[in-house]
Amino acid sequence: MRKQIIAAAVAATMTSVALADISITGQMKVNYNNKDNNGTVTNKVITESNLYVTGKSGDTTVYTEFDYDTDSSNGAGGDFAGTHLDVEDQWMSTKIGDVALKVGTWNGGDTIISADSTRIDGKWEAKTSYAGVDLTIDGGNDYEASTTGETGVNVKVAGNVAGVAVSAKKKNGAKEYTLGGSFAGVDVAYHSFDDDRANYDKSSVLIGTNVGDVRVEYAQATADSSARITGDSWFGDVTGLATNAGAASGMADGDDIKGFGVKTAVAGNTVQAKFFTVEDTGATDIDNMKFIVTRPLAGGTTLEVIYHDQDSTTAASDSETVDVELAVKF
């Protein structure tokens, strides 16, 4: 009996040690979306759940992300469309000497001009630093077939020059540059994608400052005739904007976009207003007005309400959207 008690105690201790470096976090969002597209009204309830499992052993980390989405349309029988359960990002990172190594599957970052939602299979990244300069080399099995502009092996150099964050990335057939810094209280971020092919260049600039308790920003993104703006880090889901043809296919090749926004706190709420214009390749502007109110609730959730008005000279592209989101992180 004594041996059984000792064995049980040892097993319990070993279990607690084994689980000590495993963490599980996640989030869930529920959205009610009402859209009036030139008299055609649609209602949707959309849910998205994410579960993040992270395991650590010394300098090594293993990460897996699970994603479950549903899209309930206001249609016949209230049927569900687009329901899916995916294993998304999955990677391992470790250190070999002064080199940080990451291998697996993950998507890239989101900027004003480019949202990389493609998860490259067999992706790898090696990063090290010397004299304040970061050097990153990366590649992946699917780069040759990728639509993100990344092919073969990419090399990136990043550092700080007189208080300005600078990076340069050499891709197969393209070069990417970023600059970011603060000058006399004004924050400036510049991003450029320089493609060797004709008419594929695109760039963006974001300028912001604080006026009292109000944050004021101006953003602009331009694209050559064969390049397309796909990012959503400032304008918000530009891939969902309708074109002047009335299609919901997002911005077209050669479309430019620019606008300004303000953000402040009012009675415990974060309030934002953004006004921006898509300069369509057909020389017809599409004006957008977006109001966003975010409030933390007592139950640990966050409530966000977005009103988006899109106005164009082409009636088929006019729309009004109200999106109400309830979100929680754990």
pTM here?
0.81
Report residue 47 as tokens. 């849910």
Q: What is the mean pLDDT of residues 167-190?
A: 92
In the chain, what percentage of residues exceed pLDDT 70?
81
Q: In degrees rounded to 5, what are phi and psi of residue 170?
A: -100, 120
User: For position 275, what pLDDT does the model report?
Assistant: 95
Best CA proximity match to 179, nearest among 203, 202, 199, 195? 203
User: For position 211, what pLDDT does the model report?
Assistant: 96
Whether residue 110 contacts residue 140, with contact meaning beta carbons closer than 8 Å, is answered with: no
Architecture field, domain 197-330: Beta Barrel (2.40)
| Mean per-residue pLDDT of the chain | 83
The pLDDT tens digits of the residues spanning 50-107 come to: 999 999 999 999 999 998 887 654 443 444 455 667 888 899 999 999 999 999 998 8
User: For position 180, what pLDDT does the model report?
Assistant: 96
pLDDT of 133 above 90: yes
User: For position 233, what pLDDT does the model report?
Assistant: 86
The pLDDT tens digits of the residues spanning 261-304 come to: 999 999 999 999 999 988 876 667 888 999 999 999 988 899 99
- Higher model confidence: residue 312 or residue 134? 134
User: For position 276, what pLDDT does the model report?
Assistant: 92
User: For position 269, what pLDDT does the model report?
Assistant: 96
Question: Domain segments of the chain: what residues?
Answer: 197-330
User: For position 240, what pLDDT does the model report?
Assistant: 66
Report residue 306 as tokens. 């977005």
Whether residue 202 contacts residue 221, with contact meaning beta carbons closer than 8 Å, is answered with: yes
User: For position 94, what pLDDT does the model report?
Assistant: 97
- Higher model confidence: residue 63 or residue 253? 63
Say which residue the tokens 């109000």 belong to: 214
- Higher model confidence: residue 4 or residue 117? 117
The pLDDT tens digits of the residues spanning 200-220 come to: 999 999 999 999 999 999 999
The pLDDT tens digits of the residues spanning 147-167 come to: 444 557 889 999 999 889 999
Q: How far is CA 129 from the centre of its chain?
A: 26
pLDDT of 169 above 80: yes
Say which residue the tokens 């495993």 belong to: 22
- Higher model confidence: residue 142 or residue 122? 122
Best CA proximity match to 118, nearest among 89, 139, 86? 89
Q: In degrees rounded to 5, what are phi and psi of residue 7?
A: -65, -40
Q: What is the mean pLDDT of residues 10-39?
A: 75
